[in-house]
Structure 1
Amino acid sequence: MKKINQYCILMISLLVVSCNNPDKEKEQTSSMPIYEDIPYLQDYSIKYNWTQDQDISKVYMDRNGVIQVLSTDGLLRTHDGQFLYPGTLLKDKTYRPLTDKQISGLTLYENQFVYLDDKAVFSNAWAGSLYLSHNLPKAHILAAGSNFDFLISDGKSLQFLSKDKAPWEGAIDDRLLDIRYHADQKTFWILGAHSISSFDATTSTLKTTQQEQQLTALALQGDHLVIGTSNGYFELNPKTVTKVGPLQNKLPVTDITYIETIDDHLWFGSSEGAFKLRDDGKFDYYYGKRWLPNNHVKHISKGNDNSILILTDTGLGQIVFEEMTLFDKAEYYEKQVRDRHIRLGFNASLVDMDNGNIDTGRLSDSDNDGLWTTMYLAGEVFRYAVTQSDDALQNCRESMEAMERLFSINPVPGFPSRSFERSGYIEKLHDPDRWQHSNDPEWDWKSTTSSDEAIGHIFAYGVMAELMDNDLKDRAITLIDTLMSHIVRNDLYMVDYDGKPTTWGKWNPDYVNARPKMVGDRKINSSNIIGMLQTAYHFTGKEKYKEKAFDLMNNHGYLENLMWPMKDVAPAPDDADDWSKMLSESWNHSDDEMYFVGYWGLYNYAFNDTLKTKFKASILDHWEIERPEKEGAWNIMTALTGTSEFDLDEAVWYLKEHPMDMVSWDVKNSHRKDLDFIAPNFREQTTKEVLPPDERKIQRHNGNMFRLDKIGNDGGEEYSAGDIWLLPYWMGRYLGVISEPQPLD
């Protein structure tokens, strides 16, 4: 969205190593695209809050990098403030004489601050020599021209001030809102609530043209005037003061409060955030506390460091554009995870935060501690395989210790707990009813483990066993065998402490084939268990796994189940059982996650080439229906099949567009007028095109990427990048479809 797409896709030949037989290298060659990781512009926000009663109206940055904000009580300046750590706006006491003046206007001239008070236009620049007296004591609108020319207004009257030209005074029968200067025309343009006027600074000529609409904002772009209204904007030809084209209201928000032209792009302020018009006619939308202290935008200006200053009624959002590569972003996220998202080796979320303050949060347990951690663990294994990083290896060891303890902390042989925590906190933990006491009085463990965790375990251990050449390889194989022995021994169920199968840990044909063919659980459970059994056989060589897999495929229809076309996944028929109906009320995005992490074992460890070809077709069929989501992980994971078409450009788009700020701020998009909405549907796709990740809620890969709003618990949680971003990035690096960082030529 808000980044410069400075990447190229190079077509080169890659040698794809077969995971089916470690001794058989270079099994197939395919032409695959490669993203060259050159620097691009990554945006993030530094916020400065304002909690006082005084109104704030203007913000500028001068040539020295100083930011000043105009308030009804004088000048303010920024204090502290960095990414994720908001600063504040404080009374500017830097220059004592200014604190005694009734400053009502602020602008820049030659990149220096110029002020307006009840007596004069003046500045501290140019050795303080600029001082032009006026006789509009209530003047508050100020615009700078050329050669130290200025036009001011009190909302009704106008006064022209200049160092070397004769002064001029006049008035317009309208409520004046803003003044802009067009340097090429040497003309000041004056916006009224219902009029557009021009003042020729050379001839001191004032002309006024009445307008029908209620006008709210004015900007200059090239040879046109851009006029904002409460229902969009339109353009005027300044020579004829006539409209150029129709009213534009296919916008994120039509209630325009401010317009500014920055680097030939139009930036709009509104009552619900800010947005920029891109070259492709679409918009970059900055809404909510991810970007701004408040959504009501008062003023927009450009910083001399290429940042964008967006002033709201409760503070300033400074949108910073920093040059970085995907590798640079990965290094930031690696630190984010290790700094505040590791709980006992698990990849965890930070919750109970106070309004986005990451230093106030606590690490939380989760139903899916095993799944989120295995996805992070697999990413770190890929990172180690690519870089041989000692840090990545140590991260793998620490997370692997947590995964091993999931098996040993409960009394059920081969059963992985959902999580564990020190005893005495069950009532305070997530889902307290699922927690059980262990034999160690110091620790409790979480039961009812689901199929989500199981497939995550096998995925991560398969990656580790494949790519590690140290003790972690053997430990991973041990856990593969431990979990799969439990499942096979218990007739393809995961059996809990109470001797009963867990709600979701069921791969037995009696359960799977009880679902109608169009119900997703029939397909996903078949796909997952075959991939899990193949992985177990590949690394242990135990025939029981191979025999069970072929029994399921040949005698129970599991191959047919997993090959069921994705386009035919649908709601259960009216005569189906209630459980099947519940399972198929809408598209299950958690199933998508389970499918794709399971594809590592399904494709790489296929028992023979015939099956491998079928499995590839099934994966590509799934990828095809997922394409509208532009999901980074799904596109990268599809590349493991060696296909040359897997939407690498969309995967890179996902990685670039993902916000650096992973706090769960409220977002809202359902009100937007620039989106093409579609009719309600089974997949719960709301718009024709998916929004960029930094305009959506923060979510894991198991969420609906077309969800438009998230309201509630604003700033109360920070997600970990371990599973959300680092997994697809490092898998892309390992598969060779994302290059190492490259210098920008």
Structure 2
Amino acid sequence: MKNPNPFFLFAIITVISLSCTHTEKETDSVAAMPVYDDVPYLQDYAIKYDCEDENTTLSKVFMDRNGVIQVASSEGILRTHDGQFLYPGQLVKDKTYRPLTDKNVKGMCVYQEQFVYVDDTAVFSNAWAGTLYLKHDLPKAYMVTSGEGFDFMISDGASLEFLSKSKVTWNGELMDDTIKDILYDKTGKKFWVLGEKSVANFDTVTNEFKTTMQGDAFTAFAFNNSDLIIGTSSGYLVVDSSSGKQIGDRHIELPATEITDVETIDGQLWFGSTQGAFKLREDGIDYYYGKRWLPSNRVEHISKGTDGSILILTNNGLGQIVFEKMTLFDKAQYYEKQVRDRHIRYGFNASLVDLDNGDIDSGRLSDSDNDGLWTTMYLAGEVFRYAVTGSEEALQNCRESMDAMERLFSINPVPGFPSRSFDRSGYIDVLHDPERWQNSSDPEWDWKATTSSDEAIGHIFAYGAMAELMDNELKDRAIILIDTLMSHVVRNDLYMVDYDGKPTTWGRWNPEYVNSRPKMVGDRKINSSNIIGMLQTAYHFTGKEKYKEKAFDLMENHGYLENLMYPMAKVANAPDDADDWSKMLSESWNHSDDEMYFVGYWGLYNYAFNDTLKAKYKKAIIDHWEIERPEKEGLWNIMTALTGTPEFDLDEAVWYLREHPMDLITWDIENSHRKDIVMIAPNFREQTTREVLPPDERRIQRHNANMFQLDKLGGDGTEEYSAGDIWLLPYWMGRYLGVIGGPVHEGKARKAM
């Protein structure tokens, strides 16, 4: 979490009993579970303002006491127009004061939270009834910095001039150097001047000007207590301001090393660079890169707004980083609206595609091979929401998604076979994708075939949760679909058989297929784990012996229990003598399999046939979780909590939920250039760094992707993902399991919502 207030850096974890919404049995099994108290924290997001004229040079940005934002530019003073989260505004000519527009203003600063300008003749302001007007002798001045008592230092890059309402004017220059920046030190009552090759200061009491150190490639500087932090083209230096001596070595372990600005804000160092902006924390770095945060990555200036926001001016516009106090519940409420507003397609949980540079009003809803899976994950989240809150809105959301899920079965001619998706005829080019898209009996509709195993396990997970937690007609509808799907699978010898009478590529749980994979190939373990969980779920809710008999046959006669208990640490590449299919399946770790495993654990653990099996399943789940811990994946940690183990990294799950960006647009992201991350050797799991980056510093991705992928390039801002499966499922599941509490006002007791 990019959080200026250290108080909010840590989740408040307490050991308490579960909410009374759970049954006595559930409460007893997890009574010692840790619980996150959902107190407010600071959530960051960006409001962006674009500069339409690419020839305009932007230099400084400030906010005054009234909340007005102004930008100094080569075209005079600009101000922000429009602009809100996900709806960029613009930087436009400020015409508020007509005399200001006629002046040749080239620079600005703030003094006493009021705007102060420098043009070719004077330093002046519209505040203080316009009484500030100090003439100068630098007609090309573009830098102005305020001191105390209406003192100012200005520069044109070569010369300096000190101006004051009450003191003697002074002028001078840095010999053989170009002036880059000016600071004021209130403690020493000095203006400090940074050149490309030197640092000097001017004493406002004695009018003494002296050079304190020499160097090279200086770009910007700031005070941090008594130290000078000097940005360079290759990192930054820390210098003792009293002696002019460098302290320690050059600092280069940064996200970007070509520094363009340095600022101290609320005791923390902020850096602008040619590759975004970043803030140093005691325990790490917060990195703002890409259009999620900024109009462009070359930062010109950073300042703090009077409203607590951080203003990051780039060469193409302004990124205002807003810190809003909210709870996880507040964030969930925003995401619920995001899903309903623009991510529901015929009841499916869908993506918004074909966006024009992130414009969410320019996109369209798209079908997906995984419409069933993404929808079941959203549906399950809404089931948990309903179980926790009794929300009528959640109930209606469940009904609408259930309508879509039921139609996946009825729109095709194959008994018990769920389509991948469907759409109106004429909007899908069926002839160019004849394997997937088929005409239905209704000429108005087409359906998508080739349904895979990840779809199937998603169906059973959501229907199982619904059958267990709903007390209305949805319970019966869910049980019917469980029976419908699993009857198809059992009837077809543990295959999903498509319209052509052949098994689909991935819907295969038959022992002949599963056990033809070597033991270290992940598909052998995942298919065994999934089908046992699916059969257990079907038996639990239908009572039909065929499901129980088939499950025990697989475990006792075909080694499926041994398969699903196979240690995750031993999953690896197929041996040289394996078949080509097995080699293809095991080229690297399959993160889609992780999603299928954990979604399937709901039925595997909850509906175990007996306590002996349940204990084994728990061991397998925790064994898998141990492998996944470096990813700090919110859903995997929350789902592991269903076993009742108190050790499931709740703090990391909350970290995932809090750190996840509000903006779910697929902006381009680059991290491979960063010097602050520790790379590790190539490996089977494709873990690239020692520590995973926060979700708001990496690409937008679902749970089936590699959390250690550093870069995402191509299709910048062309798609918005739904929070339904990405965020709402782990949050509401955590609420249902009782490991995430309801929102709590600071200083008050836990409050159920």
Identify the TM-score tier after normalising by the shorter chain: over 0.9
Two-structure CA RMSD over aligned residues (Å): 1.4
Q: Secondary structure at the match of 2:139?
A: coil
Paired residue type of 1:49? D
Residues 533-565 of structure 1, C-alpha deviation per residue, up to 9 Å, x if partnerless?
Answer: 000000000000000000000000000000000
Distance 1:163 1:23, change over 3 A: closer
In structure 2, what is the equivalent of residue 572 of structure 1? 574
Contact 2:212 2:243 in 1 (8 A): no
For the 8 Å contact 1:17–1:26, the answer to whether it is kept is: no
Residues 586 and 172 (structure 1), Cα distance of their counterparts in 2 relative to 1, 3 Å cut = same
Shift of 1:156: 1.5
- Determine which of 290, 293, 310 is the counterpart of 1:291: 293
Q: Output the CA distance in 2 between the equivalents of 1:208 and 1:554.
A: 84
Whole-angstrom CA distance in 2 between matches of 1:622 and 1:154: 63
Q: Does 1:266 align with 2:247?
A: no
Equivalent in the alignment of 1:144: 146
Structure 2 distance, partners of 1:438, 1:88, is 48
SS in 2 for 1:333: helix
Match of 1:219 among 212, 219, 222: 222
Alignment of 1:241-252 (within 5 A): 241-252=244-255
CA distance in 2, matches of 1:81, 1:171: 41
- How far apart are residue 221 of structure 1 and its match? 1.1
Correspondence 1:388-467 to 2 at 5 A: 388-427=390-429, 433-467=435-469
TM value normalised by structure 1: 0.98
Alignment partner of 1:184 is 2:187: yes
Q: CA deviation at 1:211?
A: 2.1
Amino acid at match of 1:473: K
Partners of 1:7 and 1:717 lie apart in 2 by: 32
Alignment correspondent of 1:7: 11
Amino acid at match of 1:219: A
Matched-pair contact (CA < 8 Å) for 2:18–2:27? no
Question: Structure 1 pair 127/389, CA: closer, same or farther in 2 (3 Å)?
Answer: same
Return the alpha-carbon distance in structure 1 between the equivalents of residues 30 and 269 of structure 2: 47
**Aligned counterpart, 1:198:** 201
- Distance in 2 of aligned mates of 1:736 and 1:569: 33
Residues 126-165 of structure 1 correspond to what in structure 2 (within 5 A)? Answer: 126-165=128-167
1:621 is aligned, of 602, 623, 641, to 623
CA drift at 1:28: 3.0
Equivalent residue letter for 1:248: H
Amino acid at match of 1:689: E
Distance 2:572 2:20 in 1: 35
Give, in angstroms, the shift of residue 209 of structure 1.
Answer: 3.3
- Say which of 57, 67, 92 aligns to 2:59: 57
Q: Which residue of 2 aligns with 1:511?
A: 513
> How many matched pairs?
741
**Structure 1 pair 27/168, CA: closer, same or farther in 2 (3 Å)?**
closer
Post-superposition Cα deviations, 1:247-302, rounded to whole Å, max 9, x if no partner, equal 1000000000001110001000000100000121x210000000000000000000
Gaps of 5+ in 1: none
* Pairing partner for 2:553 from 551, 554, 558: 551
Tell me, in whole angstroms, the C-alpha distance in 2 between the residues paired with 1:169 and 1:79: 38
CA distance in 2, matches of 1:54, 1:637: 52
Deviation, structure 1 residue 94: 0.3
Contact 1:426 1:432 in 2 (8 A): no
| Other-structure match for 1:690 | 692
Superposition pairs of residues 282-681 of structure 1, within 5 angstroms: 282-427=284-429, 433-681=435-683
| 8 Å contact kept, 2:30–2:646 | no
Return 374-383 or 47-56, whichever deviates more. Answer: 47-56
Q: 1:51 Cα deviation (Å)?
A: 1.9
Output one character per residue of 1:654-712: Cα deviation in whole Å (capped at 9) or x when no partner: 00000000000000000000000001000000000000000010000000000000000
Residue 6 of structure 1: how far off its partner (Å): 4.7
For residues 444-479 of structure 1, give each alpha carbon's deviation from its aligned partner in whole angstroms, at most 9, with x where no partner exists: 100000000000000000000000000000000000
Matching of residues 104-123 of structure 1 within 5 Å: 104-123=106-125
Letter in 2 for 1:563: M
Q: Alignment partner of 2:584: what SS?
A: helix
Whether the 8 Å CA contact 2:275–2:298 is kept in 1: the answer is yes
Aligned match for 2:212, one of 185, 189, 209: 209
The answer for the alignment partner of 2:751 in structure 1 is none
Offset of residue 54 of structure 1: 1.6
- 1:264/1:400 Cα in 2 relative to 1: closer, same or farther (>3 Å)? same
Is 1:31 matched up with 2:32? yes
CA drift at 1:244: 1.4
What secondary structure does 2:248 align onto? strand
Q: Which string of whole-angstrom CA distances, capped at 9 and with x for unpartnered residues, describes residues 36-78 of structure 1?
A: 0000000000000002112110000000000000111100000
Distance change (3 Å), C-alpha of 1:407 and 1:373: same
Return 28-37 or 51-60, whichever deviates more: 28-37
Counterpart secondary structure, 2:115: strand
Decide whether the 8 Å contact of 1:17 with 1:27 is kept in 2: no
Residues 276 and 288, structure 2, Cα contact 8 Å, conserved in 1:
yes
Deviation at 1:193, TM superposition (A): 0.4
- Report SS of the residue matched to 1:76: strand
1:434 partner amino acid: R
> Which whole-Å CA distance do the structure 2 matches of 1:706 and 1:233 have between them?
28
2:9 corresponds to which letter in structure 1? N
Unaligned runs of 5+ in 2: 748-753
Give the aligned residue type for 2:29.
Q
In structure 1, what is the equivalent of residue 750 of structure 2?
none
How many Å apart are 1:426 and its aligned residue?
Answer: 2.3
SS in 2 for 1:90: strand
Amino acid of the structure 2 residue aligned with 1:11: V
The aligned amino acid for 1:338 is R
SS at match of 1:694: helix
- Paired residue secondary structure (1:121): strand
Q: Contact 1:410–1:438 (CA<8 Å) still a contact in 2? A: yes
State the identity %.
74
